[in-house]
Amino acid sequence: MIGTYIHDIQQQIYGLDKIRFQHAPRSVNSLAHIIATETLKKGEEIYLDLGVPEYAEEQARYDVSRELD
């Protein structure tokens, strides 16, 4: 599965002079972490072209409500 991402990256960076990757801590990227974790648990492969899964939307709403407290 990781090989697919590496292949996609290699295709997208073809012809670029340089590229930079930057780590984002889970605490500031919780939505991406939830999507990745649930996808791995379920053994699914998803693309976010049509939006995010319902469980991710629910978590995002929960996170926003906690920030407002």
Domain limits, the chain: 22-69
Q: What is the DSSP letter of 21?
A: -
CA dihedral sign of residues 41, 45, 51, 54: negative
Q: What is the mean pLDDT of residues 12-24?
A: 83
What does the mean pLDDT of the chain come to? Answer: 81
pTM: 0.46
Residue 65: its H or E element: helix 54-68
Percentage of residues of the chain with pLDDT beyond 90: 1
Calpha distance 45→40 (Å, rounded): 8
Residue 69: per-residue pLDDT: 62
Q: What is the mean pLDDT of residues 17-29?
A: 79
Q: What is the mean pLDDT of residues 54-66?
A: 81
